[in-house]
């Protein structure tokens, strides 16, 4: 096989693993009223003062998607919105205690599935896989 064929096969394999992981995690999280996207947003809003625009930029979602997800999380009492004291156009998003509880459950579920999927890899293989992914990610960011 040649290099491009090998790379193409690796990308396809990685894509299948990612989609299987996402499907399994989302399948488990649905019982908690969550998804991977909601879990990521809940995690993000635990890191500090975050606005919907910050979430949109970080996640790469459209404004409409972010508002829809935030509305659902707010309806389920996992977050609350608060008007900025200095800029009336901005509302900050804060996680609630219920949101923190759901996030803990979601992270635990996510970790169990990740551990199972990656269990065939040795510590050295995991380290190498991380280094390859990290290098590709850095290269992608610098080549824009």
List the chain domain ranges.
Answer: 3-142
What average pLDDT values come out for the chain (144 residues) when binned by 10 residues? 90 93 90 89 92 93 93 96 90 95 94 93 96 92 80
The pLDDT, as a whole number, for residue 1 is 65
Quick one: which of 119, 130, 120, 117 has its CA closest to 16?
Answer: 117
Which own/partner contact pairs does 79-86 have at CB distance under 8 Å and 24+ positions apart? 79/42, 79/45, 84/51
The pLDDT, as a whole number, for residue 33 is 84
**Cβ–Cβ under 8 Å, residues 34 and 75:** no
The pLDDT, as a whole number, for residue 142 is 87
Quick one: which of 37, 36, 8 has its CA closest to 21?
Answer: 36
Cβ of 56: how many Cβ atoms within 10 Å? 16
DSSP secondary structure letters along 109-127: HHHHHHHHHHTTS-HHHHH
Residue in this structure with the two tokens 């999280």, named with its chain if needed: 29
The pLDDT, as a whole number, for residue 141 is 83
Residue in this structure with the two tokens 């824009």, named with its chain if needed: 144
Quick one: which of 62, 17, 58, 20 has its CA closest to 40?
Answer: 58
CATH T-level topology, domain 3-142: Arc Repressor Mutant, subunit A (1.10.10)
């Amino acid at each position: 096989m040649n290099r491009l064929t090998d790379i193409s096969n690796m990308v396809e394999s990685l894509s299948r693993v990612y989609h299987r992981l996402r499907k399994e995690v989302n399948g488990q999280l649905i019982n908690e009223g969550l998804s991977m996207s909601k879990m990521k947003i809940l995690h993000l809003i635990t890191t500090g003062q975050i606005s919907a625009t910050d979430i949109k930029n970080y996640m790469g979602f459209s404004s409409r998607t972010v508002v829809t997800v935030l509305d659902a999380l707010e309806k389920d009492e996992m977050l609350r919105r608060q008007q900025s004291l200095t800029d009336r156009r901005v509302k900050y998003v804060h996680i609630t205690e219920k949101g923190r509880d759901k996030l803990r459950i979601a992270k635990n579920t996510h970790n169990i599935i990740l551990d199972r999927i990656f269990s065939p890899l040795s510590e050295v293989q995991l380290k190498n896989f991380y280094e390859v992914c990290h290098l590709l990610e850095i290269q992608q960011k610098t080549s824009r």
